[in-house]
Each structure stands twice: as C-alpha cells, then as structure tokens.
Chain A
Amino acid sequence: MLLEVEGMTLAYGNITAVRGVSIAIPEGSLVALVGANGAGKSSTLNAISGLLPISGGAIRFEGQSIGRLKPHEITRRGIVQVPEGRRIFGRLSVEENLLMGAFSRKDHAAIAEDRDRMFELFPRLKERRRQVAGTLSGGEQQMVATARGLMARPRVLLMDEPSMGLAPLVVEQVFETIQSINAAGTTVLLVEQNALMALEIADHAYVMEHGEIVLDGAGPALARDERVIAIYLG
C-alpha cells in the first residue's frame, strides 16, 4: 500500500470531525472519496498533508508513519494537495505559481520541462503566463491550482473538489486531465461533490458521512449502488 490511513480520528477543539476513518490507496490507483457537505473529506485531506494534527489512528506512507511530520516534510516525500477553492497565490504570476509548486525540487532543467508540459496540458495558461493569477477566471484558476500541484511531481496527488464552480464542459476536461495524470503513473486521491462522475473513473471509492466511512467498493459499482443513489439522487 502506498498511502494508508488507519482508524484516523480528527477533532477541532472538542468537536470530533472525523472518527476512525481507514482508507487504503495502492500505488498507481485512482481512489475517490465522496460525501455530503461537512462529511469530513477536506479535513481528512488536510490531516494527510500535515496541516491538521490527528488525534487518533495513523497515517502511513510506504509503511512509514507520517502523522507527526510538518507539512513541508510531507510535501517533500511526494504527497501534494490541490486544495479546495483553488487557493492560488493571487499576486504571483501564473508562471510563478507553477514554480511555487516545484518549490521543494532542485532539478532546474526538469522543472522547466515540467512547466512547458503544463503549458501544453493547459494552453490557456501559456497565453497568460505573466498575468497575475488573482485576475484569472475561476476555471483558469483551477487550471493553475492543478498545474501547480502537478509541478511537484507528486507520488500522490490529493485533489479536493477540482470541479467546484466550473462549467459542465470544463468539468469534463478536468476529469479527463485527472485520468491522464493517473494514467501517466501518479496515484490520485480525489474528493468530489460531483460524486457519480468521480465514482465512474475511480478504481476504488469510499463514501463518507458524518465523519465516518459508511461504504466502499469499486468505483463504477458504487455508482450503481442503491444506497449511494439514495444519498445523492434521492
């Protein structure tokens, strides 16, 4: 198992947001985590990234516990989050945002190569490479956030609602991009409100409710599961 969350519990003060959650993510897979608003999905990702201290359980990367590491140390091991709501660096240019993504890398030639690859993947960004990222449209900002995450050459990419606030056509493009990233060898943990779409492309998926995992299984199978449909379409 590349990344493993085991019996993890998270609390904000004395409010427990996540209770005994276990998630297993094999190398090269695309795993989805879906659930209603406030289920605890973002909290789970933040805990994996080290931005939130865990109050119980363990997080292991390649068998080693990373639950006590600082955020930048976790990033250096190859676990990178594309946060919810984009959160690009508004005053840096598009290109500088991408370079920030590669902050912990030292291989300058490869960084420049990756940047050009990102501009191939998102030609819109190439046109606007010197534009201050805060002035981009919502969809363009999501492209920056995704490209910035990829610039870290992550082993595991944690994506928090990459389709939020995007037009349906753009959502499809984003999902295609995620699939192609995954096909190129990056392990992906995808959190989505757009549950059915996420389940369709996921190798394995977990359904979260009130801070607990209530269901899990192969993605496309879950998409047809009556209980899931009841939650999301009922």
Chain B
Amino acid sequence: MSTLVERSAAGETVASWTSDFRRGVGAGLGGALVAAYLGAVGLLLMMNDRPVVAGMVTLAQVALGGIALVAGVLAQRRARHGAQPALWTSPLAGLVAALVVLAFANLILAVNLRSIFIALTPPLARLISFGQVKSLGGAGLFVAAAMVLALAGGLLQRAPRSLRRLILPAVTTVLVAGVFQDFIKVILQSNPVFRSVASWFYGWDGLSPRGALTVFAIALVLAAIPRVARGRAAAPRTGVARFAPALVLLVALILVPLAGGPYVAQVFLLVGLYVLMGMGLNLELGLAGLLDLGFVAFFATGAYVTALLTADSPLALASYTMIPSLSFWAAMPLAVLAAVAVGILFGVPVLGVRGDYLAVATLGLGEIVRIVVLSDAAAPVLGGAQGILQIPKPTLGGFEFSGPVSLFYLTLVAAGFAAYCAWRLERSRLGRAWIALREDEDVAQAMGINLVQCKLLAYAFGAAFAGLAGSIFAVMVNSVFPSSFQLLMSINVLALIVVGGLGSLPGVALGALVLIGLPEALREFGEFRYLFYGVALILTMRLMPDGLWPARRSRRAPVLVEPEGEGTALGANRA
C-alpha cells in the first residue's frame, strides 16, 4: 500500500498529511480517554488531595498535564517504517484532548451521571478542566495550555536523546520529592542538620516552589555529571564507575531506615524480606528457568520452623518433646535447612514437568502446603488457623532486636550474605549448568549435566533464601498464621524479579523497592495501589522488557563483559 502512495510526489504529501492528522487526533483522543477514565474511577479526585508543589500543583494536575505531554510525545512517534510526523501533530493532539475533556466536563455538569459513576461530580468537572468550564475565555486558555504542553512533549520527543536523558530524570526527581514528601520529611526531621535543610525545600504545607526549583537544578546537574565525565574519557566504564549506581543504592538502603524511623524502617524491612526471596527465586527462574508459583511454601517453612523452635507457646516443640527451646540464632539455620528439605521434596514431583505446566504444578504444590498447615490434621502441631503466637525477638548479648530498625539491619546483613552467595553461584560451574539447562535440557544432559541433581539444587538454593526470609518474618510479626502465606506472595516475588530484570541482582533490590516499597508509601490510595502496580508492570514490560536493571546476561546483550576479563578481542572490536 505504502509503495503505491510513494509513486507520486503530490499523492505522498496528501497521504502523509492525512496520516499525520489521524495520528494527532488519535493521540489526543487517547489522552482524553485516559483522563476521563482516571476521573470516572475516582482516582483523580484522590490524587488531587496530594500536593506536589504546595499551593500550586497537585498530583492530579500533574497527571492531567502529563497526559497532554504524553499525547504530544505519542503524536511525534514515527510509525514502524514511516517518516517523522510533522510537528503540528503534537499541538493538534493537545487541542483534541483538551476539547474532549472540556466536553466531558460539561457533560458531567449538565447530566447527573452519579448513579453510574459516583465520582462524576461537579468538583471533578472543575478539576479536569482546571476550573475553566464556565467562561469561553477560560476554555480558550485551557485549550491553549494543553496545546503548549503537547507541543513541549513533541519537541521533547524530537530533542536529542542526551537532552531527554537530562530533563526526564530531573522532572522525575521533582515529582518524587513532591509526591513522597511525607516520607521524605520524616527522614529529614530526624536530625537537626537535615531539619534546617528541610526548611528550604518544604514548608508546613509541602514542597515549596523554591524547593522544587532547587531539586530540579540539583537533579539536572547530577544527571549531567556522568555524561560530561564520560564524554571526556570516551572509554567503557570501568572499576568504580561501573559499580557506582549499585553503591548509591546500597548506601541509600543502609541510611534511609536509620534516619526515617520505625515506619520507614518497617517498609524497608518488608522490602528486604522480598529482596531475600527475590534472590532465591532468581536462582530458580532467572538462572535455571524453573518457573515456581509455589515459592511461598519455602518462606512458610522457614517461618513455621522458627516458630516451633523458639516460641513461648504450648505449640512449641520444647513444651512437649525433648527438644530444648532454642534462640533465634540457633533456630534460623535449622529453619533454612528445613526449607531446603522442603525445596527438594517439592522439586521431586515436578522434575519432568516443563514450562507452562511447571507453573501450574508448582502453584498446586504451594497451595497444598498452605492447606496442610490449615488442616485439622496438622492443627495440634501447627496451630491451624490460629497459628503460633509469642515468638520472641532475637537478642544478641543483651541487645534485643525489638524494633523494625534493628530488624531491618538484621535483614540487610542476611540479604548481603545471600547476595554474595547468589553472585558466586551465578559465576560457578553450577550456575553455568543452570543456564545451560534452561537453554536446552537435552543438550545440557548430553554435556554431562545431571538433570535431577541440577534441578533439585536449584530448588534447594531458592528455598534456602526464602527460608531465611521466613525465619526473620516470624520474629518480625511475633507470630505465624497460614493466612500470611498466600499465593499473592509468590506472585509478588515473581513480579518483582521480572520488573527488576530476570537474573540481575541489583534488579531484585530495585524491583522490590518499586513493587513492594512504593505501594506501601502510597497507602492512602487504598485499593488503587494495585492499579499503580499493574500500570508499573505493563509499562516496564513494554518499555524495558529486560527489566529496570537488566542482567549482564539479558536477552539482548550481544557481548558479555567480564570485569576481570582480558578483553583484548573485545576492545579491538570496539575501537
């Protein structure tokens, strides 16, 4: 079809004109539809309660402006083999979006739609039109603003990549500073030095305009430094520079909970436990390719064994057997061993099961474990639905790990140890065997890999990590109940390693922070958190299929760069 169009120059301009027009209108309609949807489900009104810059912009307004901007970006995106659309498509998209939103606002005011969507109220109409429904002049201003924003989006899309890489992080940082201000303020309030800094950025009612500008400027400079530095030494990043992002992440993980107090530490503690589990599942799925939806069973094993060995309860083993009541430190290794045993038992029945079937089979196994724990038969030992209570906190030479802050550091040490193990495993003979197994089971066997042993080891190691997390979880909540170990937990772990980047260690931390930490920080949005969760999942999979922090061995890495490799051949290729 397109070849026919290219025959005549006149025909071509007409064709490109109409296709550009369609593209602009389409992007505008899409944007308006998203805005109407967010409004109809009530999310916009909720977001309006969260200021980004105090007294100026709320989150809802940022979202609406963002929609206009993105509509402008999408209008400029070239089709797969098409030419660059003309610049006017972007403001056209803004125009269409604004007109539709205005019409929608008027519809809300004119017709009572509240019986269908309770959120379709006059305040929403005012919100989405920025209060400009009434006068014609106001409406004109609204439309013009949308067109300017969309044009800005279009220009951004056309701007050189390097410029975008400066502006986008800076804008994101301002948004984070605004949206998570409660969280950040708690951290800043913790000591006097921070407190004086905080007063520059945050007023009593939120991020101040001057604070927002400062944050923007700082983020811009920070984003520019690595580019400038790299521009000067046009060499592949080596040594410190390669690990710098991971180092920053680590330092943040260490310092933030200390400064942020119990609530922040509690969130990070949860993130830490998921990181532990994520690293375990990463061995199973990221390396050996064994999809496991019953992963929570190992976590539960770790928790229950810890409870049985340490609890101050009639269900504790010490109260009716010869086994003495143990301290957390003695019980934890046993809990890990028990999880390993369950992991191996778990692996045996699914040894010959591959791919999709494996997902279903492990899902079944995980549920079996939960139902067994709930059952009457096991109730005398495991406490049934009532669970096991009164698990003491760990103590170390008089110090009690009583609060979330100290427990977080315990988790951090455990996660650090586990990360080292995972890192070594990936580079070991066994790690290579796992990868080979995932690639081609038959050939891997023909290379001399013992299929049974190799798969069971993957389950065993994965289970060990989860068991460790479960053990800490038990002392964190002081009790274990079957209802804590739902399928959703396995799914969460799976989602976070996929979002972070399958097979990538820093990816696990990032994924857990995004999928576990962010929803905690967005508590006020209630059930809508799962909407964010879903959007985050879809967006990362669309935009970054290899995850937020792709593994060294990701799908599209053409060359594996070893830090200590001789790399002569590679260097020659690059030069």
A interface list, Cβ under 8 A from B: 49-51, 70-72, 75-76, 80-81, 83, 87, 89-93, 96, 99-101, 103-104, 126-132, 135, 148, 152
Which A residues are in CB contact (< 8 Å) with B182? none
Shortest CB distance B458–A (Å) = 16
- Kindly state the separation between the CA atoms of A174 and B71 in the bound complex, as whole angstroms: 56
Question: With an 8 A cutoff between CB atoms, is B443 at the interface?
Answer: yes
Q: Are A71 and B558 in contact (CB under 8 A)?
A: no
Given known contacts A92-B435, A92-B439, A126-B569, A132 and B446 CB-to-CB distance under 8 angstroms? no
Q: Are B433 and A103 in contact (CB under 8 A)?
A: yes
Which B residues are in CB contact (< 8 Å) with A93? 559-560
Which A residues are in CB contact (< 8 Å) with B442? 51, 71, 83, 87
Shortest CB distance B371–A (Å) = 35
Shortest CB distance B545–A (Å) = 15
Q: Are A132 and B443 in contact (CB under 8 A)?
A: no
The number of chain B residues touching the other chain, given as a range, is: 20 to 34
Question: With an 8 A cutoff between CB atoms, is B356 at the interface?
Answer: no
Shortest CB distance B250–A (Å) = 27
Which B residues are in CB contact (< 8 Å) with A87? 440, 442-443
Question: With an 8 A cutoff between CB atoms, is B449 at the interface?
Answer: yes
- Kindly state the separation between the CA atoms of A211 and B440 in the bound complex, as whole angstroms: 26
- Kindly state the separation between the CA atoms of A49 and B449 in the bound complex, as whole angstroms: 13
Question: With an 8 A cutoff between CB atoms, is B171 at the interface?
Answer: no
B interface list, Cβ under 8 A from A: 429, 432-433, 435-436, 438-440, 442-451, 553, 555, 557-562, 565, 567, 569-570, 573
Q: Are A103 and B560 in contact (CB under 8 A)?
A: no
- Kindly state the separation between the CA atoms of A135 and B573 in the bound complex, as whole angstroms: 15
Residue in A72, A101, A152 with the greatest tally of chain B CB atoms within 10 Å? A72
Shortest CB distance B304–A (Å) = 36
Shortest CB distance A145–B (Å) = 9
Q: Are A104 and B448 in contact (CB under 8 A)?
A: yes
Extra contacts besides A130-B570, A152-B447 (9): CB < 8 Å: A70-B450, A71-B442, A89-B436, A92-B432, A92-B435, A92-B439, A103-B433, A135-B558, A152-B448
Q: Are B558 and A49 in contact (CB under 8 A)?
A: no
- Kindly state the separation between the CA atoms of A148 and B436 in the bound complex, as whole angstroms: 13
Q: Are A99 and B443 in contact (CB under 8 A)?
A: no
- Kindly state the separation between the CA atoms of A99 and B557 in the bound complex, as whole angstroms: 20
- Kindly state the separation between the CA atoms of A49 and B444 in the bound complex, as whole angstroms: 12
- Kindly state the separation between the CA atoms of A135 and B432 in the bound complex, as whole angstroms: 18
Residue in A83, A129, A130, A132 with the greatest tally of chain B CB atoms within 10 Å? A130
- Kindly state the separation between the CA atoms of A128 and B557 in the bound complex, as whole angstroms: 14
- Kindly state the separation between the CA atoms of A127 and B560 in the bound complex, as whole angstroms: 13
Residue on A with the closest CB to B553? A91
Q: Are B559 and A76 in contact (CB under 8 A)?
A: no
- Which one of A92, A101, A128 lies within 8 Å of B569 (CB-CB)? A128
Shortest CB distance A94–B (Å) = 9
- Kindly state the separation between the CA atoms of A100 and B573 in the bound complex, as whole angstroms: 25
Q: Are A103 and B446 in contact (CB under 8 A)?
A: no
Q: Are A103 and B429 in contact (CB under 8 A)?
A: yes
Q: Are A101 and B447 in contact (CB under 8 A)?
A: yes
- Kindly state the separation between the CA atoms of A135 and B439 in the bound complex, as whole angstroms: 14
Shortest CB distance B332–A (Å) = 34
- Kindly state the separation between the CA atoms of A83 and B444 in the bound complex, as whole angstroms: 11
Which B residues are in CB contact (< 8 Å) with A135? 558
- Kindly state the separation between the CA atoms of A89 and B562 in the bound complex, as whole angstroms: 18
Shortest CB distance B571–A (Å) = 10
Q: List 17 A-B contacts (CB under 8 A).
A: A51-B442, A51-B446, A70-B451, A71-B442, A71-B445, A83-B443, A87-B442, A91-B439, A103-B448, A104-B447, A104-B448, A128-B569, A130-B570, A131-B558, A131-B560, A132-B559, A148-B447
Shortest CB distance B501–A (Å) = 14
Which A residues are in CB contact (< 8 Å) with B562? 130
- Which one of A49, A72, A131 lies within 8 Å of B450 (CB-CB)? A72
- Kindly state the separation between the CA atoms of A90 and B560 in the bound complex, as whole angstroms: 12
Q: Are A89 and B440 in contact (CB under 8 A)?
A: yes
Residue on B with the closest CB to A135? B558
Which A residues are in CB contact (< 8 Å) with B429? 103
- Which one of A72, A92, A131 lies within 8 Å of B449 (CB-CB)? A72
Q: Are A83 and B559 in contact (CB under 8 A)?
A: no
Residue in B448, B557, B560 with the greatest tally of chain A CB atoms within 10 Å? B448
- Kindly state the separation between the CA atoms of A144 and B436 in the bound complex, as whole angstroms: 14
- Kindly state the separation between the CA atoms of A132 and B559 in the bound complex, as whole angstroms: 5
